[in-house]
Amino acid sequence: MSSRRPFIVGNWKMHKTVAETVGYVAEFASHLPSSSSGCDMAIAPPFTALSSAVAAAHGTTLQVFAQNVAAEGPSGAFTGEVSAAMLKEVGCQGVIVGHSERRRYYGETDAVVAMKTRRALDAQLLPIVCLGETLAERESGAALEVIARQLRAITDTLTDADVHRIVIAYEPVWAIGTGQAATPDIAQQMHRHIRAIWEATFGASADTLRILYGGSVTADNIAEFTALSDVDGALVGGASLSPSGFANLVRGALATSPASQGV
């Protein structure tokens, strides 16, 4: 059984003001079960609320991640961009990179996602690198190959020192925001595939690599995923926006995850 520590991350996307963020963190903390020390938890608010989220979460185990980072850095003429060093300065512990909405709406290629991952690592931020196939890719039988291609773009750029400082999220595009989560069989098969590629590239560090599932995860279905041997937590969009709902989701993950039960 896995000894990997579960990790539950809420991706807020373009939701919540500073005031809403501060209120959320206080309410979330009040709903958390005492067993929540058994897993890692993070929220990823918009850039404008990061600093306030860090201040509000001070003294709790809730971590704050950004949703995006500049591919360039550490500074320069890149209007509208925010560098990894800037995220580190405001107290972020990590950053989501390569989310499918970034790939689809903002044209982020595998190469750009690899550059962003590098920037995060160099700034001592934990990158959560998102991989996922579209419905058309799945229906044409290309899902495994698409994920392998997206993953290799990252592994090709990593050094031995990096391999313990990265989290992967498998997020099938067709499951994001649709209410149609992947089946546990699909999730387990893809997570195993990712771990096998990692093992072929980096050997035993595959045992400690955390791979999160994302795509219509809720408090009602989280247990189906965290019970799987190669699923180490979840990246959660819509269901992370309510503090009580997200706390319930954490509770569901703790109830099933082997590592959080010390086995």
Residues tagged in the binding site annotation for substrate: 11-13, 177, 216, 237-238
- Helix (H, G, I), strand (E, B), or coil: what is residue 211? strand
Q: Does 224 sit near ligand PEP (CB under 6 A)?
A: no
Q: Does 10 sit near ligand PEP (CB under 6 A)?
A: no
Nearest to 239 by CA among 256, 217, 255: 217
Tell the residue number behind the tokens 């949703």, with chain if given. 67
Q: How many residues does the chain have?
A: 263
Q: Does 33 sit near ligand PEP (CB under 6 A)?
A: no
Measured between alpha carbons, how far is residue 151 from residues 3, 60, 70, 196, 239 in Å? Answer: 23, 33, 20, 11, 26
Q: Does 237 sit near ligand PEP (CB under 6 A)?
A: yes
Site for ligand PEP (CB under 6 A): how many residues? 13
Question: Which residue in 6, 98, 132, 215 binds ligand PEP (CB under 6 A)?
Answer: 215
Question: Which residue in 4, 6, 11, 62 binds ligand PEP (CB under 6 A)?
Answer: 11
The values of phi and psi at residue 197, to 5°, are -65, -40
What is the per-residue binding string for ligand PEP in 172-201, x denoting contact by CB under 6 A?
----xx------------------------
Taking the complex as a whole, the smallest distance from the CB of residue 66 to ligand PEP amounts, in Å, to: 14
Tell the residue number behind the tokens 């990997």, with chain if given. 4
Q: Specify the residue, 206 or 224, whose C-beta has the smaller distance to ligand PEP.
A: 224
Taking the complex as a whole, the smallest distance from the CB of residue 175 to ligand PEP amounts, in Å, to: 6
Are 206 and 198 in contact, with CB atoms under 8 Å apart? Answer: yes
Taking the complex as a whole, the smallest distance from the CB of residue 3 to ligand PEP amounts, in Å, to: 25
Angstrom distance (rounded) from CA 163 to CA 196: 14
Q: Does 233 sit near ligand PEP (CB under 6 A)?
A: no
Q: Does 252 sit near ligand PEP (CB under 6 A)?
A: no
Q: Does 94 sit near ligand PEP (CB under 6 A)?
A: no
Enzyme catalytic residues? 99, 171
Cis peptide before 45 (omega within 30 of 0): no
Where do the H-state alpha helices sit in 90-212?
100-105, 110-122, 135-139, 143-155, 184-202
Burial of 125 (0-12, 13-18, 19+ CB in 10 A): buried
Terminal C-alpha separation, the chain: 7
> Which region, judged by CB under 6 A, interacts with ligand PEP, from 35-43, 109-117, 150-158, 231-239?
231-239
Binding site for ligand PEP (CB under 6 A): 11, 171, 176-177, 214-217, 235-239
